[in-house]
Amino acid sequence: MSDYLIDVSEILKSEGLSKNLKDEVELEPLEFREEVLQLKHVTLSLNLTNVGLGILVKGNLTGILLAQCNRCLAEFEHEINIKLDELFKKNLKEQEEDLAVTDNKINLGPIIDQSIILGIPIKLLCRDDCKGLCARCGKNLNRETCQCKQAPIDVRWDKLKEYFKKG
């Protein structure tokens, strides 16, 4: 989990004060589904506002996730664009310290990591029409065609095939 500390001492002085922040950040690789995810060109565009109870952080996180396609296993770049909307409270108990203002600072690191992981699609595909790998020879069907023959259809399904031909 990476740390990304922001000094909010200036806007803590008075309710209603705000600060805009745009920054390109280097993030540590994230562990997700037994994979290590690399990110590059991650940019934060945020507005931090003192809302009395604490600091409201709103904005976007954009970047590129280096991923592996779930169908063809090819490496590709997946663009991410995630909305952030979190309230960091001033006086929190220890069990809620991820969303606390501590020593006039907030740590966006855990929120960034969590938001990226929640924003990853269930299936990462290099493209919508990815053909995947041949089940017999393992060739990437996006790059080349294989000479494998279609597997014969099991005769036990013939009755079902006839049913659909009628309709």
Q: Could you report the per-residue pLDDT of 141-164, keeping only the tens digit for each?
A: 999 988 887 767 788 888 888 888
Cα atoms in the 13 Å half-sphere on the side-chain side of 31: 2
Please write the tens of the pLDDT for every residue from 58-87.
999 999 999 899 999 999 999 999 999 999
Stretch 8-16: mean pLDDT: 89
> Based on the number of CB atoms within 10 Å of its own CB, is 123 exposed (0-12), middle (13-18) or buried (19 or more)?
exposed
The model's pTM = 0.73
Sign of CA dihedral 58, 62, 68, 69: positive
pLDDT tens, residue by residue, 103-112: 888 888 888 8
**Mean pLDDT of all residues in 22-36:** 83
C-alpha 9/C-alpha 41 separation (Å) is 28
